Amino acid sequence: MDQHGTKLLTVDKNVENIDENRNIMLAAEQLLEGEVVAFPTETVYGLGGNALCNKAIHKIFQAKGRPSDNPLIVHIGERSQLVKYVDNIPNYATKLMDAFWPGPLTIVLTHKGNLSKGVTANLPTVAIRMPDHPIALALIRVSGIPLAAPSANTSGKPSPTKAEHVYEDLYGRIPVIVDGGPTGVGVESTVVDCTGEVPVILRPGGVTKEEMEEVVGKIEVDPALMMESAATPKSPGMKYTHYAPTAPLILVDGSERFFNEIVKEAMASGKRVGMLIFEENKGRFSPVKKEVIMGSKEDLSSVAYALYDSLRSFEEKEVDVIFSQVIPEKGLGTAIMNRLRKAAGGNIVSEA
């Protein structure tokens, strides 16, 4: 990379013969040289590096400012790559992969010890997924390497769903961003521990618990994900504050009337208020100008899609506090509320 710059390489994700695309080849070359490259997946943008190369993995942690005890997800392009790196694949894990790969599901299995140590943060297990995005898959194919990739944000910030978000966070810190337009799902993959008798959800995400139950029956949830749990999460990343905008975010659980009262109270005390609300409630609250719509309550995929961009949009709006509406924690609502709770640092006010 030139000392200061970060190159933006634009790729149309629907282009024919994507493996021969010049920008894909340039990005793959960088990866083969041990560099890091940001690229789109179907969930969020990832910051990829060769999962077999210590130097590349070190650069990922450095660029993000990520704590070294938080392991990375390895992205593969074909099922045959899986057995090179992991052992003891239970039947239910095969069923889950059959049903949801390529897609937003990450499987945690015991590794064979041949990946870069940094990837697994010295754990006996590794997290692996096959992304459902033509650009991510092309980079894996053309480079011929498994790509370790965390979300391409600065640690603690909302994950990037557009190349611009990566640019804001990592400009000058990485050589290349492949711009393939906005990502689709908008929240990260579901992380499932597959080392025990039954699958255990460590991080809710794009594939819902309900969808997985249809395929494998019983599924458990890491107790640390439950509200107000004091348990230490089994997914190391879940213990850090995350996804947070700059102004404090407070979740408001209650009626429209309650929401209005909370907003008015804050305004009366001289605060500049921002609101994160649903399409259905547009214009219905106290006349606060800084209102950001995070999709429709009736279509949770539209909320997941807009969530991180909405949180980031408050960086440009000068507000002292942000109030957000909430949704029931089922289906995709579980992942959305998990991210909102984290962004709010657990700050929630409920109507009695």
Residues that bind ligand TXA (CB under 6 A): 41, 43-44, 46, 70-73, 104, 106, 108, 120, 123, 125-127, 131, 149-151, 188-189, 191, 202-203, 234-238
Closer residue to ligand TXA in complex, CB, 187/273: 187
What's the min distance (Å) between Cβ of 100 and ligand TXA? 12
Beta bridge partners of 221: 201
Nearer to Mg ion, 262 or 344 (CB): 344
Q: How far is the CB of 161 from Mg ion (least distance, A)?
A: 12
CA 345 to CA 250: how far, in whole Å? Answer: 8
* CA distances from residue 35 to 22, 139, 271 in whole angstroms, order as listed: 17, 13, 45
* Residue 175 near which of ligand TXA, Mg ion, none (CB within 5-8 Å, type-dependent): none
Is residue 166 exposed (0-12), middle (13-18) or buried (19+ Cβ within 10 Å)? buried
The rounded distance, in Å, linking the Cα atoms of 123 and 70 is 10
Whole-angstrom distance, CA of residue 291 vs CA of residue 170? 27
CB of 75 to ligand TXA, least distance (A): 6
The residue with its CB nearest to ligand TXA is 237
Closer of 152 and 319 to ligand TXA (Cβ): 152
- C-alpha 180: how far from its chain's center? 17
43: partner contacted, choices ligand TXA, Mg ion, none (Cβ within 5-8 A by kind): ligand TXA
Q: 151 or 310: whose CB is closer to Mg ion? A: 151
Q: Which of 158, 163, 195, 186 lies closest to 176, judged by CA?
A: 163
In the list Mg ion, ligand TXA, none, the entry touching 199 (Cβ below 5 to 8 angstroms by class) is none
